[in-house]
Amino acid sequence: MPSQIQTETTANVNQATSNIGRLDLRGGDDGPRYPQYLPSVEHATFPDWEEINYVDPGTRGTADKRHLFVPGSRHKAITPRIGEEIRGVQLTQLTKEGLDDLALLAAERGVVVFRDQDFKDIGVQKQLETARDFGRLHIHPPYPKGIPEMHVVYKDQAAENAIKPADLQSVSSVVWHSDHTAEQQTPGYTFFVALEVPETGGDTLFVSATEAYKQLSDGYKQTLEGLKIVHDNTSMIEYAKSKGLPARFSPQKRSHPLIRTHPATGEKILWAIGAGEGNGMPRYIEGFKKEESDSTLRLLNDILQRSGDIQMRATYEPGTVVVWDNRAVGHTPVHDHKGERRHFVSISAMAETPY
């Protein structure tokens, strides 16, 4: 592991048992434009996260985002209830105050789409440094060799073992979820960096869990208040092991509030995305009988997944960087492109213990 890139756990990665390889590409000279960000197969293990104090940078943001919306920049709402698109602002040029304003905007709007960015070309150290302003960096394989804080999303017809496999046994590729909700301190602000994108397709759908909560009646809000969902990543880790893929940590199983509060906005969040459907880590409502839990979670996921008026679609161009708040939104990739390479890296900062 390069000395300048230190993992955020207490693990001594150099002492971890590893079996490192690179994605095997077959034939042709039109290889990946960013080979340094190809996924590695590294069977390194890390100790479980220790809980630490977290101060959301959005709590320091300004209401008018004066440090983010700099002179000459342009921004517009993607939909009335979720998403903001920004042009004329380089993430790499933002001050700490500008990053605080970005955190608050992402908390308020859920998703912020930056266009025409140089972020993909500034190097790993600067990329991680920028994201680290938002919190301790999460680790999830596959990642580029020696860079565990950077997750790779890669699909290429020429790859023997493309990440995010296309062997889906369902009609639709849509799988709504929030990332790694079984953690004690779940990921919050996430940077999703486009390295290579298809000419069309390969978009990401987002849904606002904040706006979903607002749609509920006052009486039903009171019914849900105080309930907890058990989040469990055991099946994900077991699946990875069955495919010979890395499993970074031991399985986690925790109870988190069904209605979560955002520390920067004070707003309530319906935190049940993908719950009970086998496609997410939230499994069942604590203290409910199975039928009671299943029917409640089915209703809540219908609200989240079928309400087009609280959803948006993020499209990608060369130089696009999407920043989203993993606490406030759910997402799903759309695997509708064929043949073309889709190569992204994501960097996620861990946030507070949900309350």
What DSSP letter does each residue of 238-282 carry, written as one string?
HHHHHTT----S---EEEEESEEE-TTT--EEE--TTTTTTSSSE
User: Which residues contact residue 150 at a Cβ distance below 8 angstroms, ignoring those fewer than 6 apart?
Assistant: 37, 124, 127, 128, 143, 144, 345, 346, 347
Residue ranges and CATH numbers for the domains of the chain are 58-351 (3.60.130.10)
pLDDT tens digits, one per residue of 51-85: 999 999 999 999 999 999 999 999 999 999 999 99
Give the single-character DSSP code of 121: G
Give the pLDDT band of residue 159 (cuts 50, 70, 90): low
Give the pLDDT band of residue 278 (cuts 50, 70, 90): low
Token pair recorded at residue 147: 């860079």
Give the single-character DSSP code of 297: H
* pLDDT averaged over every residue in the chain: 88
Distance (Å, whole) CA 327 – CA 267? 11
Token pair recorded at residue 143: 């990642």
**pLDDT above 60 (res 29):** no
CB 138 within 8 Å of CB 10: no
Which amino acid does the sequence have at 156?
A: D
CB 246 within 8 Å of CB 44: yes
CB 10 within 8 Å of CB 47: yes
More confident residue, 255 or 246: 255
Least reliable range by pLDDT among 10-24, 72-86, 332-346:
10-24
Per-residue pLDDT, 238 = 83
Alpha carbon distances (Å) from 313 to 113, 197, 238: 11, 15, 31
Distance (Å, whole) CA 331 – CA 50? 27
**pLDDT above 80 (res 191):** yes
Per-residue pLDDT, 45 = 82
More confident residue, 101 or 164: 101
Average pLDDT over residues 150-163: 75
Per-residue pLDDT, 276 = 79
**pLDDT above 90 (res 221):** yes
**pLDDT above 50 (res 254):** yes
**pLDDT above 50 (res 20):** no
CB under 8 Å, gap of 24 or more: what pairs does 219-222 form? 221/259, 221/268
**pLDDT above 70 (res 182):** yes
Least reliable range by pLDDT among 36-50, 105-119, 219-233, 319-333:
36-50
CB-side neighbour CA atoms (13 Å) of 352: 15
**Other C-beta atoms lying within 10 Å of the C-beta of residue 255:** 15
Average pLDDT over residues 130-153: 95
Cis peptide bond prior to 32, omega within 30° of 0: no
Give the distance, in angstroms, between the CA of residue 213 and the centroid of all CA atoms in the same chain. 20
* CA trace torsion 233, 235, 239, 245 (10° rounding): 20
**pLDDT above 80 (res 28):** no
Average pLDDT over residues 87-92: 98
Name the burial class of residue 227, with classes exposed (0-12), middle (13-18) and buried (19+) by CB atoms within 10 angstroms of its CB.
Answer: middle
Distance (Å, whole) CA 342 – CA 267? 35
Distance (Å, whole) CA 312 – CA 310? 7
Helix (H) or strand (E) holding 153: strand 151-155
Per-residue pLDDT, 343 = 96
Sheet holding 187-196, edge to edge: 74-77, 84-87, 111-114, 321-325, 187-196, 342-350, 151-155
Per-residue pLDDT, 236 = 82
pTM, two decimal places: 0.90
More confident residue, 265 or 160: 265
**pLDDT above 50 (res 8):** no
**pLDDT above 90 (res 107):** yes
Alpha carbon distances (Å) from 163 to 22, 124, 181, 202: 12, 21, 21, 14
**pLDDT above 90 (res 6):** no
| Angle in degrees, CA 168, 333, 311, rounded to 5 | 130
**pLDDT above 80 (res 279):** no
User: Which residues contact residue 218 at a Cβ distance below 8 angstroms, ignoring those fewer than 6 apart?
Assistant: none
Three-state DSSP class for residue 317: coil
